[in-house]
Amino acid sequence: MFNRLIRPTIRLRLTLTYGMLFLLAGAFLLVLTYVLLNRALRDPGPPQRGGDHGQESAIERQYTPAQINALRKEERQSALRQVRIQAWIALVVTSAGALLLGWLIAGQTLAPIREITSHAQHASEETLNERIDLRGPPDELKELADTFDGMLDRLQAAFESQRRFAAQASHELRTPLAIIRAESDVALAAPDVTEREVNYATSIRDAADRSERLVDGLLALARSESTLRDSRRVDLAELAGDVVGEQTDAADAAGVELDLDLGEGVVNGDRALLWRLIGNLVENAIRYNRPGGWARLRVNTEDANVILNVENSGPIIAPELVDSLFEPFQRGSTGPRSRTSGHGLGLTIVRSVAAAHGGEVTAVALPEGGLSVTVTMPGIGE
């Protein structure tokens, strides 16, 4: 804490520089003034006799010339001593004022840099549309802020181009995949189909189904990373109940028991994307589980935030691998794999959809095996 307070920031260095320059200039001025004053008060020599002033004659009659010179020298030294004392007091006071003024001026001068730094620290993929738009004269700081804004423009264009490519490529892949699936269905429906042809056609159709799910995931990911198109009031608890209702058959087939705890949870968002978010969590909880396992889904409101939690039993996951599960095409390193396993986009889409709704996602590996995923989003009142 103490080190942070005295760290050599630019503002502190500028303040010390201003103060040192003022101190040196003030000291030089005081020394020069002292020298000139000392010369002005130098000993004028022995007093002249026969002056016209009666007072001076009285002094000359009372004191000897040596005594008069001693008195003058003492008065001159006393005056110079008072000048030195007052000058140093004035120098200390004005130096303190100069340091304070330098601190304020340095802070005002560096305020644009603090604004640029704060914007750079909070810049992320979700805030690329925000700009500094620094106001002020066309100086070096304004040029720096404009350069940073230009860099954000290029980054935003690159990200949007990437998203458009993913969406367009996914749309283009739908047609050939649909043709492949239709051809495999026709082959399976043929009356003279052989067992070998059935195996081939089934494998092709399974591959087409997996590819279609991958395309759907890419489309959902591209859409969730763009601006929300359909934002409205959504009851997350009701939506979660509908999603789980559609996954009941899959849970029964996998031997997984589903448990629901649905409280209140109303958010403002895209219903289709929120459906995909909950669906991906429930699908993962069923798919990466064990026979006879369990999966729990809870929705409630805490401190104006809607909390959605999905946790499940399953294989043990190393805590250091949890963060990697949110990366695209990453799946747990343990547990069974089948031809119906996911593509590793589920949690990536969940995180992207949550971020698009102003929320965040956290995950924790359960000690006994399985995963607990919590989605926190801003809620809206009734």
Q: Give the mean pLDDT of 268-296.
A: 89
Q: For 105-136, how does the pLDDT look when each residue is reduced to its tens digit (9 = 90+)?
A: 878 777 888 788 877 777 766 667 778 877 77
- Whole-angstrom Cα distance, residue 120 to residue 207? 44
Q: Give the residue extent of every domain in the chain.
A: 2-122, 140-223, 231-378
Q: Give the mean pLDDT of 38-47.
A: 63
CATH number, domain 231-378:
3.30.565.10
Pick from 356, 357, 359, 361: which is nearest to 374 by CA?
361
Burial 56-65 (b: 16+ CB within 10 A, else e): eeeebeeeee
- Whole-angstrom Cα distance, residue 45 to residue 283? 109
Q: Please name the CATH architecture into which domain 140-223 falls.
A: Orthogonal Bundle (1.10)
Q: For 300-353, how does the pLDDT look when each residue is reduced to its tens digit (9 = 90+)?
A: 998 889 999 999 999 999 988 898 888 776 555 444 444 444 556 778 888 888
Query: pLDDT at position 281, please?
Result: 93
Q: Which residue has the higher pLDDT, 334 or 187?
A: 187
Q: Give the mean pLDDT of 32-56.
A: 62
Q: Which residue has the higher pLDDT, 282 or 99?
A: 282
Q: Are 256 and 295 in contact, with CB atoms under 8 Å apart?
A: yes
Enter the pTM of the model: 0.52
Give yes or no for residue 217 having a pLDDT over 70.
Answer: no
Q: Give the mean pLDDT of 253-269.
A: 91
Q: Which residue has the higher pLDDT, 320 or 141?
A: 320
Contacts of 252 (CB under 8 A, 6+ apart): none
**Torsion angle of C-alpha atoms 225, 227, 233, 237, degrees rounded to 10:** 0
- 181-190, 222-231, 243-252: least confident range: 222-231
Mean pLDDT rounded to a whole number for the chain = 79
Q: Which residues pair with 259 in a beta bridge?
A: 296
Helices (H), the chain: 2-5, 10-40, 54-62, 65-122, 140-189, 195-224, 236-246, 248-254, 271-287, 346-356
Q: Give the mean pLDDT of 60-84.
A: 76
Q: Are 26 and 91 in contact, with CB atoms under 8 Å apart?
A: yes
Give φ, ψ of 303 to 5 degrees. Answer: 55, 50
